[in-house]
Amino acid sequence: MLFIDPVFEWIVCLALALLMATAAWQKLRHPKMFRGVLEQYRILPEPVPRAASIIIPLGELASALALMFPDTRDLGSVSTAALLTSYAFAMAVNLVRGRRYLDCGCHLGSHRQRISGFLVLRNGLLVLLTLSLLLPTTPRVVEWFDMGIVCYGLGLTTLLYHICNTLDANRHRLSALS
């Protein structure tokens, strides 16, 4: 039987909750832009993007909340994994269609980032991390120092996530120059 450490579980679920909450916040702040992105992906038939542009951010917000509480954590991790998989699927379909120039919609309201294999891979890894939350935790006493590790881990994963994303965006800007 596989077990995960409670510290690891806390870092993963807080980081994912933060990710989902910021994603939902961005989408709710720029609903028109998000609808545009959904339409551009050309996955959902015509009237659906309008409704989806409200439902998806609400789903993200609910998942973020569910991840925060131990009782609803399993439900939250399944819904988060489902959302992340659907984004990866939408990007993969458009990459196969050859529409590499699409904006991924990761930074609504600020800069553009094109869809890429990296983003599909990133979502795949995030899904694996999310599903790891379904595993039982090692029974051990969580001390005050563990909470320090959780804060540190959360800060570091957030920073590394942003660094990787920015590097991918830079790669496209650089290739646009040559």
Partner 1 sequence: MNTTLLVATTISWGAIIALAITVLALVRQVGLLHERISPAGALSIDKQSLRAGEPVPSFQLPSLTGGNVTLGADFPQARCTLLFFLSETCPVCKTLLPVLTSVAKQEQSWLNLVFASDGDKQAHLDFIERRQLQAFPYVLSMELGVAFEIGKLPYGVLIEENGKLISHGLVNTREHLESLIEARRLGAPTVQTFMAAQTSA
Contact residues: partner 1, CB under 8 A: 145, 148, 152, 155-156, 159-160, 162-163, 166-167, 169-170, 173-174, 176-177
Give the nearest distance from C-beta 167 to partner 1 in angstroms.
Answer: 6
With tokens 């890429």, the residue in question is: 116
Closest among 5, 20, 58, 4 to 158, alpha carbons compared: 20
Residue placing its CB nearer to partner 1 in the complex, 96 or 145: 145
Distance CA 147, CA 44 (A): 43
Residue placing its CB nearer to partner 1 in the complex, 135 or 147: 147
Distance CA 44, CA 165 (A): 26
Give the nearest distance from C-beta 111 to partner 1 in angstroms.
Answer: 8
Q: Which residues pair with 4 in a beta bridge?
A: 137
**Whether 74 contacts 88, CB under 8 Å:** no
Residue placing its CB nearer to partner 1 in the complex, 5 or 39: 5
Residue placing its CB nearer to partner 1 in the complex, 8 or 41: 8
Give the nearest distance from C-beta 151 to partner 1 in angstroms.
Answer: 9
Give the nearest distance from C-beta 109 to partner 1 in angstroms.
Answer: 17
Which H or E run includes 5? none
Residue placing its CB nearer to partner 1 in the complex, 1 or 176: 176
Give the nearest distance from C-beta 68 to partner 1 in angstroms.
Answer: 23
**Would you put residue 43 in left (φ > 0), alpha (ψ -120 to 50) or beta?**
alpha
